[in-house]
Amino acid sequence: MNAATQKETLGFQAEVQRLLHLMIHALYSNKEIFLRELISNASDACDKLRFGINSGHLKPALSTTNANDFTIRLRADKAARTLSIEDNGIGMSREEAIQHLGTIAKSGTRDFIAQLSGDQAKDAQLIGQFGVGFYSAFIVAERVTVESRRADAPADSAVRWESDGSGEFSVETIEKDQIGTCLTLHLREGEDEWLSSWKLREVVKRYSDHIAFPIQIQQESWDAEKQTMEVKDEWETINQANALWTRSKSELSAEDYERFFESLSFGNGKPLKWAHHRVEGRSEYTQLLYLPRQAPHDLWDRNQKRGLKLYVRRVFIMEDAEQLLPAYLRFVQGVVDSSDLPLNVSRELLQESRDVKAIREGCTKRVLSMLEELAESENDQDQNDYALFWREFGNTLKEGVAEDFANQERLAKLLRFASTQQDSSEQTVSLAAYVARMKPEQEHIYYLTAESYAAALASPHLEIFRKKGIEVLLLTDRVDEWMLSYLSSFAEKSLQSIAKGSANLDKLADDTEKQAQATATEAHKPFIERLQQALQEQIKSVQVSARLVESPVCIVAEEGAMSLHLQRMLKAAGQQAPVSKPILEINLEHPLIQRVRALPDEATDFQDWAALLLDQAILAEGGQPQDPAAFVKRLNKLLIAA
């Protein structure tokens, strides 16, 4: 026996020993992950061999090995109480087995182990972040035998590595017919469940369904004579072995993508659009992202489960990984498969990972590009998919304007609104289209927020804009006010509420109009002051209106103050809104105002008239009079007197 074939016994690297001891205890409650780790190693080994063959780097010893023959086989031997995981991947030489299975080649191992405390929960989390790999076999096995033959080595140069995990391992050279690696786990007392085919199926389905190579177990049949299940020499594939996203786009049809979406979304119909890319650079990953056609009923609820499915090198890691996309894109479904994250990445780690940050940015940009492409369909009369998208998800996308400053400009281009330019409440007008239609003298993008489309259309604030033929965007979704507090301009035009302050109306008025307003204010100063006096508890001031044409009065919020609509919304939600008194604007041309103005100084009902004017202004704006019963009483009193 020469030195190379001799059996030798070696000690584990000190770190391995310590890690093994701590890991077995810390991960015991989550022991099934050992199977995922070992299958992942087997899959990596197949990948490496396939790559070696395709790139011409490696010439396998067996000519039969081609990309279609790769399998990962799980063999349970009930009599011997062993579970084997066998692959026909790249395999290991004797030196490689010593190197890879006796040491931890990762940088920072020492620091990492120094952090382990013996506290089970904390250590489990830390080990999870570190990646447990091959050594997880010892969670369920009291002894592990690895027989391996490198794909380019002759049959008599294979290796057997064996250890009970207590500090030493042995290696010897053996003969092995097949290339690849066979790991045999001699199960610990009480671990017999790993001999049952249903248990193996269950765990493979959960974690390894999308491993690209077939994972197989032996078929069993009932032997009536012996009254036992007998193992047959036939193999059955128990995973889908079809990680669609790892295949090249040119191989996949629209039906393939649609079918996969169905499996992701549990029958939510066909997707509107998808994007499938392999991203290289700072972080390497594959993204397969879908825009659904229909919103789930609870889309509005930001606390609902959301997110993409996360895989690491085709091993399933978690459902609903919400860190991979910002909350405002929670309608997107799909898969991210990272090449960089550790297999045992936890939700906590996702939050801190720089790789995840890069994935999140990359996926966000991709979704925005998909939406921009979809928006091009707006010119298509027959199939306006963007209108469809906007109806379902527009409200959610608006949250992005407030939350995603880096992409605000792109998001603003994707917004659609109802407008006075159209006859329907449908939100189809983009800010770009609005700006293109602006009057030469117009400097602002005008909008009005209201409870409903009908309320917006009836608002007295619109009168002057109608008269001058200036378009106003009508915003009636709950999220609008919040969004607007973050969106102050578009294409260098500032957004201006027509229900606040002067609304820069003077810029729209010609010199004669301005002159007339100034003269009227001067001429009716005593009346204006009297009205102001009567209502001073409730309003900030009375002003001669530049925006009213048909209505006698309206109220507006002060420039820079919270809009009255938002104040009402906050109040309805039980939140405290800063109290700011509105401005009452009056239309001096209106017969009702003229009637009140004509009341003699000694008239005792001036106070009633003033209160009535204010209350109707509040009503027209969509609000509630402070004291509705008093309003009705006053109205009746004045009607009877009239």
Q: Shortest approach of ligand ATP to residue 149 CB, angstroms?
A: 10
Question: Do the beta carbons of residue 344 and residue 352 sit within 8 Å?
Answer: no
CB atoms within 10 A of CB 413: 16
Cβ(148)–Cβ(182) under 8 Å?
yes
| Residue type for position 54 | N
Which C-beta is closer to ligand ATP: that of 42 or that of 556? 42
Nearest to ligand ATP of 128, 394 (CB atom): 128
Q: How many CB atoms lie within 10 A of CB 157?
A: 18
x/- map, 13-52, ligand ATP, by CB under 6 A = ------------------------x---xx--x-------
CB of 169 to ligand ATP, least distance (A): 13
Residue type, 322: E
CB 543 within 8 A of CB 586: yes
The reply, when asked if residue 107 is annotated as ligand binding, is yes
Residue 181: CB minimum distance to ligand ATP, A: 4
Give the Cβ contact number of residue 541 at 10 Å.
15
**DSSP tag of 334:** E
Cα–Cα dist 54/65, whole Å: 12
Q: How far is the CB of 41 from ligand ATP (least distance, A)?
A: 3
- Touching ligand ATP, residues 221-280 (CB under 6 A): none
- Binding ligand ATP (rule: CB under 6 A), the pick from 12, 74, 128, 133 is 133
Rounded Cα distance, 600 and 639, in Å: 19
Q: Is 274 helix (H, G, I), strand (E, B) or coil?
A: strand
323 scored as a contact of ligand ATP (CB under 6 A): no
- Shortest distance in whole angstroms from residue 155 CB to ligand ATP: 17
Residue among 177, 181, 182, 245 nearest 210 (CA): 245
**Is 303 labeled as ligand-binding?**
no
Annotation-wise, does 514 bind a ligand? no
Of 337, 299, 314, the residue nearest 208 (C-alpha):
314
Binders in 84-123 for ligand ATP, by CB under 6 A:
87, 89-92, 100-101
Residues 71-90 close enough to bind ligand ATP by CB under 6 A: 87, 89-90
Q: Is 181 in the site for ligand ATP (CB under 6 A)?
A: yes
Q: How far is the CB of 40 from ligand ATP (least distance, A)?
A: 6
- Give DSSP secondary structure letters for 207-227: HHTT-SS-EEEEEEEEETTTT
Known binder of ligand: residue 384?
Answer: no
| Candidate residues 134, 274, 527, 606; the one interacting with ligand ATP per rule CB under 6 A | 134
Beta-bridged to residue 568, according to DSSP, are none
Is 347 one of the annotated binding-site residues? yes
Structure-token pair, residue 276: 């499938």
Under the binding rule (CB under 6 A), the answer on residue 60 touching ligand ATP is no
> With contact defined as beta carbons under 8 Å apart, do 285 and 359 qualify?
yes
Q: Is 318 annotated as a binding residue?
A: no
- Least distance from C-beta 240 to ligand ATP, angstroms? 21
87 is in an annotated binding site: yes
By residue count, the chain amounts to 642
Shortest approach of ligand ATP to residue 35 CB, angstroms?
Answer: 13
Most distant CA pair in the chain, distance: 127
Handedness of CA 364, 365, 368, 369 (dihedral sign): negative
Given the complex with ligand ATP, which of 53 and 630 has the nearer CB atom?
53
By CB under 6 A, tell whether 336 contacts ligand ATP. no
Q: How many angstroms separate the CA atoms of 505 and 424, rounded? A: 26
558, 583 contact by CB (below 8 A) = yes
The answer to whether residue 412 forms part of the interface with ligand ATP (CB under 6 A) is no
Task: State the DSSP code for 558.
Answer: P
Give min distance, CB of 72 to ligand ATP, in A: 9
- In whole angstroms, what is the distance from residue 589 CA to residue 64 CA? 96
> Half-sphere exposure (CA, 13 Å, Cβ side) for 219?
7
Using Cβ positions, the residue closest to ligand ATP within the complex turns out to be 133
| Residue 188 lies near ligand ATP (rule: CB under 6 A) | no
Q: Minimal distance in Å, beta carbon 100 to ligand ATP?
A: 3
Q: Is 497 annotated as a binding residue?
A: no
- Min dist CB 360 to ligand ATP, Å, is 22
Interacting residue with ligand ATP among 52, 102, 131, 623 (CB under 6 A) = 131
| Helix H or strand E segment including 350 | helix 347-352
387 is a contact residue toward ligand ATP (CB under 6 A): no
> Please, which residue, 149 or 366, has the CB nearer to ligand ATP?
149
Residue from 33, 336, 343, 415 that binds ligand ATP (CB under 6 A)? 343
Q: Which is nearer to ligand ATP, 87 or 385 (CB)?
A: 87
Beta strand segments in 381-466, E:
418-419, 444-449
Q: Residue positions in the annotated binding site?
A: 37, 41, 87, 92, 106-108, 129-134, 181, 347
Q: Residue positions in the annotated binding site for ATP?
A: 37, 41, 87, 92, 106-108, 129-134, 181, 347
Residues that bind ligand ATP (CB under 6 A): 37, 41-42, 45, 87, 89-92, 100-101, 131, 133-134, 181, 343
